[in-house]
Amino acid sequence: MIKSKRWLMACLVLASCGFTATTSPEASLKKVFKNDFLMGAALNGKQASGKDPEATAIITQHFNTISPENVLKWEAIHPQPEKYNFGPADAYVAFGRQHNMFTVGHTLVWHSQTPDWVFEDAHGKAAGKALLQQRMAEHINTVAGRYKGQIGGWDVVNEALNDDGTLRQSKWYTIIGEDYLAQAYQLARKADPKAELYYNDYNLWKPAKREGALRLVRSLQAKGLKVDGIGMQGHWGLESPSIAQIEESIVAFSKVGKVMITELDIDVLPNPSNRNGADIDATFAFDEKYNVYTNGLPEEVQQKLARRYADIFALFHKHREKIARVTFWGVTDADSWLNNWPIKGRTSYPLLFDRTYQPKPALDAVLKSVSKSSSSQ
């Protein structure tokens, strides 16, 4: 018996005995990490409206916070100048309220998935500074104001930085100037003073971009603006970034506010040009050599994915006092945006549940990662 227990502990620490896809019906991510951080998933429109009961079962069992994949992005909720489409967003917020979940708003100001008319005048030419400022104010007042007291935290500005840490030359920047950032946070705070306000971006493990995010948040905070924390998008691969690189950013960002791990998924497929991050404009034509697991994920890769998740969550547990929330970008592999990025039509496997709503070995790995973390400290 003693030998058996020692062997089990060694397996947990080294993940050398492999992970299984079977978990007890009582197993729950939100219960395992209840004293550490919130556990979340991004919902698509069907899930947010309660029309995917199998997904609802997973969501309510495992998660206590939700993010919207698309329903609160500008093109979805405000498609035309005088038209708002509140139905899907209302359903999303109602889902969170019904299940007593911390509900995240994503996102108020972003260069992508924002209709062209936002940046144009009545004649189709580039909008002037005053007009774009007016539109930003009206949008934030209307959307954040509508869900005042119902959305707990907003990704106010999303992906405003280049990988070298400089500000992205988006239309927000080129028309309004750098001050658009401060204005966005000022407007969001006025619309809902009690909501937490975040900055969210990808590739924040890169040193130059990390420093750029720190400069940005500190400069906003120095102006007296409310920025409660930084969302580190976890669009990572099986080997990159390293655990050390992720850890360096968690520690650095904890010095300016809360740290959120957002949009977590692990891409197991080969990537054209070895691209990383989440620039949705960086797409490629379909090529079978980048779609190699159409008939299912080989067991060797399943275990590699599980070990990767085990290592990542052991790190998160180590820094649980710094991390407020960990959110997966999707519920099952079938929902993942990685099926269509950077190449449309791929069969991707980045999450903890497969296309039939069944747990993968990666779920077992995450549930056991607390023991792994505790044993290594």
d(CA 367, CA 372): 10
Q: Using a CB cutoff of 8 Å and minimum separation of 24, what contacts does 278-284 make?
A: 278/159, 278/202, 278/203, 278/233, 278/235, 278/341, 279/159, 279/202, 280/112, 280/113, 280/341, 281/112, 282/342, 283/341, 283/342, 283/343, 283/344, 284/342, 284/343
CB 152 within 8 A of CB 260: no
Left, alpha or beta for 263 (phi > 0: left; psi -120 to 50: alpha)?
Answer: left
**Of residues 82, 239, 247, 263, which has the active-site annotation?**
263
CA 139 to chain centre: 22
- 239 noted as active-site residue: no
Place of tokens 């039939």: 356
d(CA 118, CA 222): 29
Phi/psi at 173 (nearest 5 deg)?
-75, -45
The angle subtended at Cα 227 by Cα 263 and Cα 38, nearest 5°, is 40
- 263 noted as active-site residue: yes
**Of residues 69, 75, 159, 299, which has the active-site annotation?**
159
Residues marked as catalytic: 159, 263
